[in-house]
Structure 1
Amino acid sequence: MSRLLRVLVPLSLLAATVTATPAAAAVVAARPAPEFTTTTTASTVASRTDRRPMAGAVHDPVAGATYITWSGQHADNYVQGYDHRRGTWSPPQKIAAGESDPHNYPTMVLADDGHVLVFQGMHNKALVMTRANRPHSIADGWTQTEIPQGKAASYPMPFKTANGDVYVFFRETTQELDPSVPTDTRPMRYVLSTDNGRTWRNSEQLTGKPFAIGSTARADNMNEIYIGQMRYERSGSRERVHIVYTLAGGGPEGHKHDRYHRNVYYAWFDPATRSFHSASGRDLGAQIDDADQELHLKVAETPLVLPGGMKSPDYIQLVGANGNRPFLLWFTGDDNKVLHDFASVWTGNRWETKEIATGLRVREAERVDGSTWRVYATREGQPNIETFLLSDGRSWRAETAIPTAKPVQRVEVVTGFRDPARIIATGASSDRDVKVADGDITVAGIRPCRVELPVLGCVLR
């Protein structure tokens, strides 16, 4: 009997024994943490970016490659590719200008025809798409076009459905189209392509509604929509896009852009019917207005204040779901600039919210199993990414740490990831001015497991 088999036999018996005992839960809690490997794909190149935690990278199983995109100096758009067969990264390749605005960040999807599509919301002006010239490759040039149905766009959030439709949600700065509209009227719209990005229609053309999510006449002037994250989910034939967002606006001071933040909301979008729904399943139709969000979508009420100069809640919130039970992760700051982290979970008839941690900026999350999610988080001004496990939207515990040479400002899980390229981490720049670009681009993944045992998990890496 080989040495490996001699080790496996008693471990297997132990696993079976432990599974049958009341102490099994304790063994599960002690399940070994995964070992992450990290690669710095580009050093001292990243500028400040406002990118939301979605669509920063995608895996192409046909090419056996992972493609990532990020904002460099002047917020210019760069891409790189990882060849999983050779284990090598391509050098950074500039494909589009960012016009020195951190809002003009890139996001990407892989169209069904194999072409990589990269989107930028040129802040308040236009929605731009840069398309790889060759399918399943980023090495043969790019073609850039402006999507005319996405005028006055910021914050592009793309996803692809099971039938290959490509949606890009974006926020519209309506004043750019009609100067008589107040500056803090900024609803969400979307564009849709059913032919791999060649032609587009926007949500108004598709539904007849002037916007997808928004309001125009709140007494508190909080008519700006800030989506923190969108998460596409497919289960069998059912598709849902989970959405978490907050409001901003001038508040009692009148019409001022992004002066205050307020409240947390949740909805899900059905691509098949182009309709929005509440956590309870209420069909809200093709447009969410203020009455909908206040009556059916509000998860948490937060005060209309600027505590300690920190907006409450933050621009980034996370969303996920366990079956029909969505959950949210979000944080606020107090008068002492201490961050407070909250989890909100839908119980089936109401939202329950509790504080789960302090001092963390939750950056991204990924499903581990049916009810457990891995949450990636950072601490202000410190290197490394910490991971935590959230079970049933309630139970929170530390898992491991991913070392990084410098502080990290953004984390995105790679769409359809394949290790060792599971997440992309954009390093924090030392200056808010995008003319400075000295953050690292780091990709991390879980080290392969040689043996996976019930209950005990990964052993003998």
Structure 2
Amino acid sequence: MRTQAMAASFAALVAAAGAAPPPASAPVMTPATAVAARTDRRPVAGGLYDAAAGKTFISWGGQYEDNYVQAYDHRSRTWSAPVLVAGGDNDSHNYPTMVQAADGHLLVFRGLHNKELWVARSPKPHSIEGTWTDVQIPAGLGATYPMPVRTADGTLFVFIRETAGDFDPGYPTDTRPMKYVRSTDNGLTWQSSASLTGDRWAIAPLGRADNMNEVYVGQLRYEPATLLHGERIGIVYTLAGGGPEGHLHDRYHRNIYYATFTPADLHFHAADGHDLGTTVDDADQEAHLKVVDTPLQTVNPRSPDYISLVGSTLGAWPFVVWMRLDADGRVHDEAALWSPLGGWRNREVTTGVRVRDMERLDATTWRVYGTDDAGTPGITTYRLTGGTRWRFESAIATPRAVQRIEVIADHRDPARILATGASSDRDVAVADGDVYVAGAPGR
């Protein structure tokens, strides 16, 4: 009866949410012009609003992927100058991601690709001013793609990927599992997931016959505790590797997977609540975590895309949004919703849109931000209701093309999203992209 009641309530909310008219375009600010390099940053931890300071803080990668932060003062409606907090080691993987510790200090993380994890800490709480400290986190050896999350009690987690073969020649180049580090003292000291659980890695699909042993997490999303579930972190990811050609790095992509991580016990769970313990192996993910099974493609083989999005409806039923490429290179956007009535159900929702990030609007409706697949200037927004119902909402004009978008944590308009402009060259020595910040459509 409870499942039937939830289904009826869900249907009613979906119908009601679809009636809202599309809002007007959002105002766009340009905190920095012609300074951003290309980046591989996923839609995680690009910026945050600090209510105590009355400021929004953003982070972005400049020339050589050096890490910068800026502040927007909501009282004076002015931007600070960019502040350099750390070097980027000339690699687009070494993007800055930022969270605020419970003591008010800002922390900016970067991975020196396949080598080290570093954290830069603001000298004062609730401020970017002054000389930042910059220290290595030894527990994060081998880090790539740092994705930080702060939980309700102030505990900090940073999920990272390790290239196992760089530290043990017995592993081929396409063995790249996930692990994490944890801090319970506002980022001053850290422990590795291996020391906390005894497992060398957290998500490690090793020894697959198709050589798809690399994990590409598309997005992490923190979800506070509700009446239906405890505090958790939603995770969506795809696999990569050499496929039938042997052990090659990132030659092919395959499949979409969903899991949750519970900070309280360090366990991973499937959408149906199945407890996988503190580590996920290939058998676990194939039996419990697979959302969509996609074939290996010889044309446009890196499909699904690196970026995918994760959320939930009614605070309980998870969904993912992901992109695949067809033989002509055109993007197809798909969404998959899990329910206790039928498990995962996937459908195509649109084409030609590169989804970048999304934000929850109500119990069943999310706003998705995207860019044109052709790389033209501007941002488009869409309403996604019930996990799979999609409609156009608005267009946000930008002077130049946008490469990455992150929804700012705890945002306050007019600083709701951070949009990093596309650089004219893939080389991070070239940094001529703009940095944009926009408010909600209709504001």
Q: Shorter-chain TM-score: which interval?
A: over 0.9
Residue 66 of structure 1: aligned partner: 56
Q: Distance in 1 between matches of 2:122 and 2:397?
A: 33
What is residue 413 of structure 2 aligned with on the other side? 419
Q: Distance in 1 between matches of 2:34 and 2:79?
A: 17
Report Cα offsets for 1:45-99 as digits up to 9, x if no partner.
Answer: 1111000001000111111111100011111111100111111100111111111
The counterpart of 1:375, out of the listed 368, 373, 378, is 368
User: Are residues 440 and 220 of structure 1, via their aligned partners in 2, closer, same or farther at CA, if it must alter by over 3 Å?
Assistant: same
The runs of 4+ residues in structure 1 deviating greater than 2 Å are 24-32, 235-238, 446-449
Distance 2:39 2:16 in 1: 41
Range moving further from structure 2, 362-371 or 235-244: 235-244
Cα deviations by residue, 1:290-342 (Å, 9 ceiling, x for unpaired): 001000000001111232x3511000000000122111111111111111110
Verify: 1:130 aligned to 2:117, yes or no.
no
Contact kept, 8 Å, 2:17 with 2:364, in 1: the verdict is no
TM-score (norm: length of structure 2): 0.93
Question: AA paired with 1:423?
Answer: I
Backbone CA RMSD of aligned residues = 1.7
Stretches of structure 2 that go unaligned for 5 or more consecutive residues are: 1-11
1:11-26 correspondence to structure 2 within 5 Å: none
Question: Is contact 1:318–1:364 with CA below 8 Å preserved after alignment?
Answer: yes
Scaled by the length of structure 1, the TM-score of the pair is 0.90
Deviation at 1:347, TM superposition (A): 2.1
Superposition pairs for residues 59-138 of structure 1, below 5 Å? 59-138=49-128
Question: Are the equivalent residues in 1 in contact too, given 2:252–2:301 (CA < 8 A)?
Answer: no
Q: Which moved more, 1:233-242 or 1:380-389?
A: 233-242
User: 1:180 maps to what in 2?
Assistant: 170
2:184 is equivalent to residue 194 of structure 1: yes
- Give the C-alpha shift of residue 39 in structure 1: 0.0
Corresponding residue for residue 266 of structure 2: 274
Task: For 1:320, give the aligned amino acid.
Answer: G
* Distance across 2 between alignment mates of 1:27 and 1:446: 17
Of stretches 347-356 and 123-132 in structure 1, the one that deviates more from structure 2 is 347-356
Q: How does 1:307-386 map to 2 (within 5 A)?
A: 307=299, 309-322=300-313, 323-348=315-340, 349-379=342-372, 380-386=374-380
For residues 35-74 of structure 1, what are the structure 2 equivalents within 5 Å? 35-74=25-64
Letter in 1 for 2:245: E
Alignment correspondent of 1:298: 290
Paired AA for residue 394 in structure 1: T
SS in 2 for 1:328: strand
By how many angstroms is 1:175 displaced?
Answer: 1.4
The secondary structure found in structure 1 opposite 2:280 is coil
Distance change in 2, residues 1:27/1:280 (3 Å): closer
Is the contact made by 1:420 and 1:447 (CA closer than 8 Å) also made in structure 2? no
Counterpart of 2:136, as a letter, is E
Q: Deviations over 1:383-433 (max 9, x none)?
A: 110000000012110000111111111000111111111100001111111
Does residue 1:254 correspond to 2:246, yes or no? yes
Q: Match for residue 435 of structure 2?
A: 441
Are 2:225 and 1:235 equivalent residues in the alignment? yes
Change (3 A) 1:26 1:171: closer
SS of corresponding position for 1:55: coil
Alignment partner of 2:224: what SS?
strand
User: C-alpha separation between the residues in 2 aligned to 1:30 and 1:67?
Assistant: 31
- Displacement after TM superposition at 1:235 (Å): 3.4
User: Would you say the 8 A contact 1:82–1:90 is kept in 2?
Assistant: yes
Structure 1: tracts of 5 or more residues without a match: 1-21, 450-461
Contact 2:253 2:301 in 1 (8 A): no
Shift of 1:177: 1.4
**Structure having the higher Rg:** 1
Identity percentage of aligned residues: 57
2:190 is equivalent to residue 203 of structure 1: no
Q: Distance in 2 between matches of 1:414 and 1:201?
A: 27
1:271-305 CA-to-partner distances (Å, cap 9, x unmatched) read 11110000000010000110010000000011112
Match of 1:389 in 2: 383
Counterpart check, 1:170 vs 2:160: yes
Tell me, in whole angstroms, the C-alpha distance in 2 between the residues paired with 1:72 and 1:124.
20
Structure 1 residues 41 and 252: CA distance shift in structure 2, 3 A: same
User: Take 1:275 and 1:397, find their aligned partners in 2: how far apart are those partners?
Assistant: 36
- Could you tell me whether the CA contact under 8 Å between 2:83 and 2:128 is conserved in 1? no
Whole-Å separation in 1 of the counterparts to 2:130 and 2:50: 16
User: What residue is the counterpart of 1:144 in the other structure?
Assistant: 134
Task: Give the equivalent residue in structure 2 for 1:458.
Answer: none
Between 44-53 and 91-100, report the one with greater CA deviation: 91-100
